[in-house]
A and B are shown apart, each in its own frame.
Chain A
Amino acid sequence: MGSLELRNIRKSFGAQEVLKGIDLQVKDGEFVIFVGPSGCGKSTLLRSIAGLEDVTTGTVLINGHDVTVTPPAKRGIAMVFQTYALYPHLSVRENMALGLRQAGTPAAEIDVRVAKATDMLSLEPYLKRRPAELSGGQRQRVAIGRALVREPALFLFDEPLSNLDAALRVQTRVEIARLHRQLAATMIYVTHDQVEAMTLADRIVVLNSGVIEQIGSPMELYNRPANLFVAGFIGSPQMNFIEAARVGEAGATIGIRPEHLSVSPTEGRFRGKVIHAEHLGADTNLYLETETAGLITVRLFGEHRYAPDDIVYATPEVVKIHRFDENGRTIAS
Chain B
Amino acid sequence: MSKARHSTLRTSLVHLALITYTLVALFPVFLTIINSFKSKQAIFGQPLRLPGPSTFSLIGYETVLKQGDFVTYFQNSTIVTVVSIFLVLLFGAMAAFALAEYRFRGNTLMGLYLAIGIMIPIRLGTVALLQGMVAMGLVNTLTALVLVYTAQGLPLAIFILSEFMRTVSDDLKNAGRIDGLSEYAIFFRLALPLVRPAMATVAVFTMIPIWNDLWFPLILAPSESTKTVTLGAQLFIGQFVTNWNAVLAALSLAIFPVLVLYVIFSRQLIRGITSGAVK
CB of A168, distance to nearest CB on chain B (Å)? 14
A131 with B276: CB separation less than 8 A: yes
Decide: A88 and B171 in contact? CB cutoff 8 A.
Answer: no
B237 at the interface (CB under 8 A from A): no
Q: How many A-B residue pairs have CB under 8 A?
A: 76
* Cα distance A290–B148 in the bound complex, in angstroms: 78
Chain B minimum-CB-distance residue to A52: B174
Q: Mark A79-117, 1 if CB is under 8 A from B, else 0.
A: 101111111110000000011001100000000000000
A204 CB-CB contact with B under 8 Å: no
Q: Which residue of B175, B181, B193, B279 contacts A79 across the interface (Cβ within 8 Å)?
A: B175
Which residue on A lies nearest to B276, using beta carbons?
A132
User: Which of A72, A82, A86 contacts B177, CB < 8 Å?
Assistant: A72
B177 neighbours in A (Cβ, 8 Å): 51-52, 71-73
Q: Is residue A242 within 8 Å, beta carbon to beta carbon, of the partner chain? A: no
- Interchain Cβ contacts under 8 Å between A and B, 27 examples: A50-B174, A50-B178, A52-B177, A52-B178, A72-B174, A72-B177, A73-B177, A73-B181, A78-B178, A79-B175, A81-B171, A81-B175, A84-B279, A85-B172, A85-B278, A87-B172, A87-B176, A87-B190, A88-B275, A88-B276, A89-B275, A102-B180, A131-B276, A132-B277, A133-B276, A146-B179, A163-B279
Whether B131 is near chain A, meaning CB under 8 Å from some CB there, is no
Verify A84–B178 contact, CB threshold 8 A: no
A148 to B272, CA, bound (A): 31
Does A62 lie at the interface of the complex (its beta carbon under 8 Å from any beta carbon of B)?
no
- B165 CB-CB contact with A under 8 Å: no
Cβ contacts under 8 Å, B179 to chain A: 73, 98-99, 102, 146
Q: What residues of A have a CB within 8 angstroms of the CB of B190 in the complex?
A: 87
| Residues of B contacting A87 in the complex (Cβ-Cβ under 8 angstroms) | 172, 175-176, 189-190
- Chain A residues lying within 8 Å of B193, measured Cβ to Cβ, are 88-89
Give residues 94-152 of A contacting B (CB, 8 Å).
98-99, 102-103, 130-133, 136, 146
Q: Which residues of A contact B (CB under 8 A)?
A: 47, 50-52, 71-74, 77-79, 81-89, 98-99, 102-103, 130-133, 136, 146, 158, 163
Residues of B within 8 A of A82 (CB): 171
**Chain A contacts of B277 at CB under 8 A?**
88, 132
Complex CA distance for A33 and B276, rounded to whole angstroms: 32
Q: Encode B151-195 as 1/0 by CB contact (under 8 A) with A.
A: 000000000000000000101101111111100000001100110
Contact yes or no, A103 B180, CB < 8 A: yes
Take A73-B179, A102-B180 as given contacts and tell me if A81 and B279 are in contact as well, using a CB distance cutoff of 8 Å: no
- A81 is contacted by which of B174, B180, B276 (Cβ under 8 Å)? B174
Q: Which residue of A lies closest to B185 (CB)?
A: A102
Please report the C-alpha to C-alpha distance between residue A130 and residue B276 in the assembled complex, in whole angstroms: 9
Interchain CA distance A71-B176 in the complex, whole Å: 12
Tell which of B174, B180, B181, B278 touches A88, judged by Cβ atoms closer than 8 Å.
B278
A47 nearest CB neighbor, chain B only: B174
Chain A residues with CB under 8 Å of B178's CB are: 50, 52, 72-73, 77-79, 99
Interchain CB contact under 8 A, A132 and B172? no
